[in-house]
Structure 1
Amino acid sequence: MTRGSAVRYPFSAVVGMDDLKLALLVNAVSPAVGGVLVRGEKGTAKSTIVRALAALLPPVEVVPECRFSCDPKDPDPGCPDGPHTAAAGRERDARLVELPVGASEDRLTGSLDIERALTEGVKAFEPGLLAAAHRGVLYVDEVNLLHDHLVDLLLDAAAMGESHVEREGVSVRHAARFLLVGTMNPEEGELRPQLLDRFGLTVEVAATRDPAERAEVVRRRLRFEEDPAGFAAAWVGAEAGLAARITAARARLPEVELTDAALRQITAVCAAFEVDGLRADLVTARTAMALAAWNGRTTVTSDDVRTAARLALPHRRRRDPFDAPGLDEQRLDDVLDEHGDDPDPEPPEGGPGGAPEPPDGGSGPDGSSADGAPEPEAVDAPASGADGTSGGPGERQPVGGGEQEAARPDATYRPRLFTVPGTGTGAPGRRSKARSPFGRVAGARPGARGVHLTATLRAAAPHQKARGRSGPGLVVAPEDLREAVRDGREGNLVLFVVDASGSMAARQRMRAVKGAVLSLLLDAYQRRDKVGLITFRGASAELALPPTSSVDAGARRLERLATGGRTPLAAGLLRAAEVLRVERLRDPARRPLLVVVTDGRATHGDDPARACALLAGVASVVVDCESGPVRLGLAGRLGERLGGEVVRLEELGADSLAGVVRDVRKVA
């Protein structure tokens, strides 16, 4: 969908959030920077400011009747609607196109016009959202919830400036240059580091805690809601000034010089922070040049390089999904000083980092902060490895009542793959077999979503005589339409139930248990699962992490997990049954996988038999943590009651049994 006539909150009226404003304006000046990913908690004006940006972009001149928005002064020679003859263009506003989370691949890239193909016998291409966004803004809210396959297509088009579509015998290429902006709430799950790297810049935003700034947020928002047109009119001058500055910066950009000294600083900074590949160097260089143009200069300074590095590098330093994005600014300054020869850079115009200052200060309309987002809580995740070596000596001290301080986990490793049996229909992922919008075509069924052309033709062919066909096209009825059935993979709900009682409190064993669960969490992250964490000790069980896509939150809860007390195994299993019941109501298509980590002892509460009966039919894995020369086999009996697979803790690694991978089997 594109920008309509509704009055939008003015960009200039959003106070605070200097880094976010600057990142968006830099991309408006130079879309080659590669877009912006905005990370932040809910209610921080992420969507408001992105939607306001489109009004600042200069109008674009397009070829009349061209569905791909070709520039009449420089039309795309490969435009599917071309070739274009010399003609006067028409001017229109730059578009803001929004990509819904549930969009299909056809909606994003375009597809064969099935109706014309079947009725007229011609190959006609129906453009998608990438074509609509050409020379405008493509906005993806909750980009972290978009399927990886679509994110890959989206970022490939943004990087190359064009879209390629190969489908149903149709091969189409068209220009697709746009300003890409994605917003996300990290609490709902992270993007994979490989996808994070494809965004040019990343900005963290958080609500201000200053009461005066929060009051200004509310004041401005209420004024806007009372009289949107009047409020916007009060900011017309500021908006026009920003729009003119963007236009001037775009014209100045080709004249900007990236000196050898500035380039040396850029490459030194990227090398010092050990970012992978050379994309970071290129993005930092393009951002620094755009900053110079934005600030009215034709030479890149050290200050431009510093600001560009702050925006382009933090998300590229993640080595592990549990790592929080961040940048050591003192180290950044040290590297710039060491490799720079520009001791007195020009101060930027218009406020911190060159971002424009609102007339009366304050904070953003939904509670945004002028100081930027605080560093997310860092997770001291162990180094990745498959040998199970220790992540460091975990100290633990009695803290009263038999409770012991949390032990540090062992190093993570690649665990064996556990899947849910059968074929599901849940959200696309990488764990269990499913019918999915993506994957290998395995057949066809009646339907009109993702039309299977061959199957549709076969269904319509026997009826052509009865339908009075007289021309070259087929006569197709709605009941002839067939959609592709694809074999793919789904993400599951992996619910961990971890024994934190005194019997698990031996330091070495709990370290091994935490390392194992962290390894399984990392595996769940890579397979696009939702995860939940239940712990039990003493007299009760606790839902330490409600089911979520934010796997790093599970890692934080696990690392802080203390141990001690009796073993209420039944309470842990009953809590698991209740959580799964509620989640089944919320998302009936997402199938659960229960992972119980215990030695099988039950020293408090009811017999676990009733709880096991409530979990009948749930795919389960029992990780047996019992150790020592004498083993009672209690975890094995628990596995039999649950009808699930039992695996010894030391056999959990993928390499421990020569790479054998077994599915979870349910016993009737």
Structure 2
Amino acid sequence: MSPVPHYPFTAVVGADSLDDPQPMALALLLTAISPAVGGVLVRGEKGTAKSTIVRALAAVLPPLDDAPVPLVELPVGATEDRVVGSIDLESALGEGKAQYQPGLLAKAHRGILYVDEVNLLHDHLVDLLLDAAAMGRATVERDGISMTHDARFVLVGTMNPEEGELRPQLLDRFGLTVEVAAPREAPLRAEVVRRRMSYDADPAAFAARYANSEGALRTRIVAAQAMLPQVVLSNAALLKIAEVGAAFDVDGLRADIVTARTAVAHAAWCGRAEVRLDDIRVAARLALPHRRRRNPFDAPGLDEDLLDHILGDDELPPDPPDGPGSDDAAEDEAESPANDTADDVTAGAGADSEASDADAPASASADDSPHVDGSNDSHEFEASGEEGAETPAPVGHSPAEATPVPAGAPYRTRLFTVPGSGAGAAGRRSRAKTSSGRRIGADPAATTGAPHLVETIRAAIPHQQRRGRVDGRLLIESSDLRRAEYEGRESNLVLFCVDASGSMAARRRMEQVKTAVLSLLLDAYQRRDKVGLVTFRGRDAVLALPPTSSVDAAAARLEDLPAGGRTPLAEGLVKASEVLAVERIRDARRRPLLVIVTDGRATAGADAVARSRSAADHLAHQSVACVVIDCEAGPLRLGLAAQLARHLGAEYVEVGDVNAGDLVTVTRTATQGAA
């Protein structure tokens, strides 16, 4: 039975015009022509042919040594030994030989390594990809094997930003990035559906109809690859590329190098022997947008007007007769050893500069101005009555009642964790038994994971005489197999419960609150957590953002959050408890961390204090890990948030102490004073 042909590259709507392909198709073609560009990241909503066109790319690439270009898909749930390779268990146990079994990185050599949903990839696998992409080779040090092998590949990733953003270090490793969306024009949407249904009905016949266009595309790729070394990157073009990079304030020089390589590849694709302004314009649109993001909450994109202003309308002047006539000098100076073999069909994803690191954003804590709350009668949580600093009590969350206060610049926060040891998805927050990390023993009941060879052999030794061992070979049975047990870090569900009442409405205080929460969101992003946002003000609480992996969405909800009205603390705690109960059913292995941001007041409705105490006790009985961030300010402090923390059994932190930099400063000062 013959294999089902892939959906043709030129059958994808928008990729069927070789003279004007859509950005996604063009980016893939350019990185195929010049692998040194460094791969492509395709970002977009579901159902936009991201995976289809990537899989179709390998079929139109010229074969390698009379063999098709390898397309290796890296599953999101792959284990480390599956990616880098490990000892061949059958040979080790059956023949007593330690033989290496190649992993996916070895199989992708000189081909395409495709990662669907790359933003959901576990951190330890991201690290492996970074190392291999940067060095052009992979190093294996595990299970008694020590070796290095070539691993030069074009890294192609697809992702849906709604499911969470990509780690900055890996984002920078992609040479090009494109944003895709489904067409909004009815005729185009109808054509997409028509072609897909035709392919599903008869894949072979559908592929045959596009055989000529596929052949023409393959011929053009071969011609462009042959022309690539002859394309001239003049001094004027190189200076213009440098001007663009400087004007858009991108970090490092990787952007300039990738833009130059992409411009050369585009000129070759167009059959031109020199780089023009149009080539630079196309290259900048593909190489710069994802490098302008300073933190996960910055929207990617490029100011087209600024780009046009820099490039202008005049053509580039020619180089003087004795000046450099190609990009050789620039390439030689910036090239790293990892790309020396870029004449293969594929090369490393870029080893020319270190990846940007967003793990330690610049510190900028919000100022704390004196603020006197207008209530003097208080017991636990807050006495009922009017709050002098509040606006009249509204019904619900009405955006018209207050103007949202923007947050300040995020800072590096303290690490808050869930106590104990969990078994959730791999991440970077709380202790857990995971598929990677420090090996702490063996689990005889486990059915998945890497084998623990020592424990497996130890389990088999007592049974050798009964099994009739005579020739010196160790007799292993399936009951002897032991799986390694690792302790690492897990990701958690971080649910923010934020007080947006009138007592928080003072501009300086709300700015400080939003800055702290924004900083904690950035920390959650870096630790691969899911996040949710509950807000309470007026008379009720709302789930402003259901738990999601997209911290961008949480930051947007936070930025638009107004403040004012009474303080329905009980309603906020009850809503948080309800959200956690639902998430416990949806994802039982992901442990929650509830972060309550409040000054502890409770003034909305009858028996506000008693109801708040009851809601707090209910959360405490559920053994929910909590952190109470106290936002009370001014010389008159009532200590209500601290009382709330005691009822919850929660960790208590004043809002100013969320900043890890401030804690270091305080510690150093105290230490020096003691000395």
User: Fold match, TM over 0.5?
Assistant: yes
The aligned counterpart of 1:622 is 628
* Aligned-partner SS, 1:266: helix
Can you list the C-alpha shifts for 1:530-588, whole angstroms capped at 9, x where unaligned?
11000011222111111111111111100100112222211111111111111111111
1:265 touches 1:340 (CA, 8 Å); kept in 2? no
The aligned counterpart of 1:611 is 615
The aligned counterpart of 1:636 is 642
* Aligned-partner SS, 2:215: helix
Which ranges of structure 1 fall in alignment gaps of 5 or more residues? 62-90, 344-382, 392-396, 662-668
1:264 touches 1:339 (CA, 8 Å); kept in 2? no
The aligned counterpart of 1:567 is 567
> More displaced, 264-273 or 571-580?
264-273
2:367 touches 2:512 (CA, 8 Å); kept in 1? no
Shift of 1:595: 0.6
What is the aligned counterpart of 1:385 among 360, 363, 366?
363
Structure 1 residues 400, 303: closer, same or farther in 2, change over 3 A? farther
Shift of 1:405: 0.9
2:276 touches 2:315 (CA, 8 Å); kept in 1? no
Alpha-carbon separation, structure 2, partners of 1:128 and 1:233: 34
Matched to 1:385, the amino acid is: S
Q: Does 1:270 align with 2:245?
A: yes
Matched to 1:113, the amino acid is: D
Can you list the C-alpha shifts for 1:11-60, whole angstroms capped at 9, x where unaligned?
11212371111000111112221110000111211111111212111222
> More displaced, 120-129 or 252-261?
252-261
Shift of 1:491: 1.0
What is the aligned counterpart of 2:54 among 50, 56, 61?
50
2:392 touches 2:566 (CA, 8 Å); kept in 1? no
1:90-109 residue pairs with structure 2 within 5 A? 91-109=66-84
Can you list the C-alpha shifts for 1:509-545, whole angstroms capped at 9, x where unaligned?
1111111111111111111111100001122211111
Can you list the C-alpha shifts for 1:417-465, whole angstroms capped at 9, x where unaligned?
1111001111111111111222122222224621222232333333333
* Aligned-partner SS, 1:424: coil
Alpha-carbon separation, structure 2, partners of 1:261 and 1:471: 75
2:368 touches 2:509 (CA, 8 Å); kept in 1? no
What is the aligned counterpart of 1:328 among 284, 288, 303?
303
Structure 1 residues 266, 470: closer, same or farther in 2, change over 3 A? farther
Alpha-carbon separation, structure 2, partners of 1:527 and 1:433: 12
Q: Does 1:577 align with 2:552?
A: no
Q: Does 1:512 align with 2:512?
A: yes
What is the aligned counterpart of 1:234 among 209, 212, 216?
209
Aligned residues: 586
The aligned counterpart of 1:194 is 169
Alpha-carbon separation, structure 1, partners of 2:660 and 2:135: 38
2:83 touches 2:105 (CA, 8 Å); kept in 1? yes
Can you list the C-alpha shifts for 1:190-233, whole angstroms capped at 9, x where unaligned?
11222110011100111222223222222322333333333222
Alpha-carbon separation, structure 1, partners of 2:392 and 2:568: 21
Structure 1 residues 243, 598: closer, same or farther in 2, change over 3 A? same
Q: Does 1:32 align with 2:36?
A: yes
Matched to 1:479, the amino acid is: S
Can you list the C-alpha shifts for 1:381-438, whole angstroms capped at 9, x where unaligned?
xx942443599xxxxx999958211011233222221111001111111111111222
Could you state the TM-score of these two structures normalised by the residue count of structure 1? 0.83
> More displaced, 427-436 or 130-139?
130-139
Q: Does 1:221 align with 2:203?
A: no
The aligned counterpart of 1:650 is 656
Matched to 1:335, the amino acid is: I
The aligned counterpart of 1:150 is 125
1:389 touches 1:410 (CA, 8 Å); kept in 2? no
Shift of 1:184: 0.4
Could you state the TM-score of these two structures normalised by the residue count of structure 2? 0.82
Alpha-carbon separation, structure 2, partners of 1:570 and 1:536: 9
1:477-496 residue pairs with structure 2 within 5 A? 477-496=477-496
Alpha-carbon separation, structure 1, partners of 2:459 and 2:193: 60
The aligned counterpart of 1:81 is none
Matched to 1:412, the amino acid is: P
Q: Does 1:140 align with 2:144?
A: no
1:437-516 residue pairs with structure 2 within 5 A? 437-446=435-444, 447=446, 449-516=449-516
The aligned counterpart of 1:420 is 418
* Aligned-partner SS, 2:532: strand
Matched to 1:248, the amino acid is: A
Alpha-carbon separation, structure 2, partners of 1:139 and 1:275: 27
Shift of 1:96: 2.3
What is the aligned counterpart of 1:59 among 36, 58, 63?
63
Matched to 1:612, the amino acid is: A
Matched to 1:633, the amino acid is: G
Q: Does 1:169 align with 2:144?
A: yes
1:120 touches 1:472 (CA, 8 Å); kept in 2? no
Q: Which has the higher helix share?
A: 2
Percent sequence identity over aligned pairs: 64
Q: Does 1:301 align with 2:276?
A: yes
